[in-house]
Structures are given as C-alpha cells and as structure tokens.
Chain A
Amino acid sequence: MSDDIKKYLDGLLQKVSGLYVIQITDRDGVPLLRVSQEKNVDFALMPSFIPTFTTACDQASKLGLGRNKTIISMYSNYQVVQMNKLPLILTFVGAENCNTGHILALEHQVDGYLEDIKLAVTEA
C-alpha cells in the first residue's frame, strides 16, 4: 500500500517542475511519508514548521470565513503549500517560481490515495 502511494507521489514530483518535497505527516508533524528530489532543501527546518502550520491553520479558521483548508507561504527561495486533511497534513515544498496552481489542483487527485493512511492514523 505504502509503496503504491510512494510511487504515485514520486510521479507527481516529476510532473510538477520545481517541486522539491512532498510530505505527509500527522497534525503534530510526525512524518508518515516523504518523497523528495535530490535538491538540497533544508530538511532540518521541516519538523518545526509543521506544528506551526497546525497552529496557524487553527487561528485562520477563527477568521469567520469557515474552516481553513490550505496555506500557501511564499519565501524568496521557496514556496510551501500546506493542506489540512484532518488527521493528516500534506506539505509541498517547491521553488519560488513553481506552479502553485498545479500543486493546488493535485489536492483532489491525492485524496483517494490518502484514505488508507487516514484510516491507519485514526486507528492508531
């Protein structure tokens, strides 16, 4: 099962040019699955900004516009797209000029693959 989704995510990494990392974690930032390109993204930073996203997402949900789904963060060298998938958090890290729209469009496609992992997380 996990091989299947890993293969699929690796395919996505090839498809979207400028995408460096796709990571699936639980809401505390515990990594469940990660695929990455050989590019030197600073992985040391990764664990800390995932719980930060959870907090930011909770705060953003209080703006009175409904539940927050996605946060896009732009930096001078990177862009980070994080999606709130309830027990899971999906994180994409790409180049600053990476196709944001394409990453967002992946959301619906990935949903099917996430179901199994979601189940495993809620049971644990």
Chain B
Amino acid sequence: MDREKLIVSNQIGYLILKEDGAVLESGGELKNDERSANVIMGLLNLTESIDESFMPNSSCERITIDYEQHYYSICMSNRRIYIVKISKSQNGGATTTTSSSSSNSVYNDASDSGAVLA
C-alpha cells in the first residue's frame, strides 16, 4: 500500500471510475478489478430511479454495501465515481488506526440498518 492512494483509513481497496464506467485508478484488493467495476456500474444504473416520490431520481449521493468483515462505500463527485472497500476491524488495512468521523458514521449507520432487518 505504499504507492497507493489512501482515501480513508482502514481501506483495503479502491477504484476510481469515469462516468461511463472506465477504470481511472485502482489499488489494493480492487486493483484492476473490472468485474466489480461493472457490477457497481450496473448498480448505479438501477439506483437512478427508485421511487420518485421518496427520493428524486438520480439524487442518491452515496451508497454503502455492508458485509460482515468489510463494507464498500460508493460516492459520486466531480464526474468521478469513487469506490472504497473498507475493513471493519481497526487493525485491518491501513496502518493508521484513527478512523475519520465520516467513515465512522457510515459504519454505525450500516450496522444499525442491518440490525433492523435482521
């Protein structure tokens, strides 16, 4: 992970895509992972229109996909799609252990929602 971009602490992989799905940058576990990129582009295509009356179309600014040990955070910014795979264990991934407040809130939110469904 020395030359690779560190977007958030605890990250174990990242992808930066153009709007059309072309991979601009990648690293960690997601290095050159075109398959995941395609799956996520398909997902973004689907999330454009969920329910017009609840969320306006294409208004979704962030998506998280939450697994037991890790989660993906997907953000759209500056005509780029940022996908970060983040470890939930504090010592997994990056060396810094202090997680930023933003990644912390993602974690809490997702785990809370998981509990609701369970």
Contacts and interface: CB of A to CB of B under 8 A. Distances in A.
Mostly helix, strand, loop or mixed at chain B's interface? helix
A84 B49 CA distance: 24
A59 B73 CA distance: 51
B115 interface: no
A52 to B, nearest CB: 32
A55 B49 CA distance: 34
Interface in B31-72: 45-46, 49
A15 B49 CA distance: 11
Nearest to B49: A109
Contacts of A14: 45
Nearest to B50: A105
Nearest to B51: A105
Contacts of B46: 15
A4 B45 CA distance: 18
A80 to B, nearest CB: 23
B38 to A, nearest CB: 12
Contacts of A109: 49
B46 to A, nearest CB: 7
Interface in A11-46: 14-15
A30 to B, nearest CB: 31
Nearest to B45: A15
A14 B45 CA distance: 10
A14 B49 CA distance: 14
A15 B45 CA distance: 7
A14 B38 CA distance: 13
A109 B51 CA distance: 11
A42 B5 CA distance: 51
A15 B46 CA distance: 7
A109 B49 CA distance: 10
Query: Sorted from nearest, which 4 A-B pairs have the closest CB atoms?
Result: A15-B45, A15-B46, A109-B49, A14-B45
4 contacts: A14-B45, A15-B45, A15-B46, A109-B49
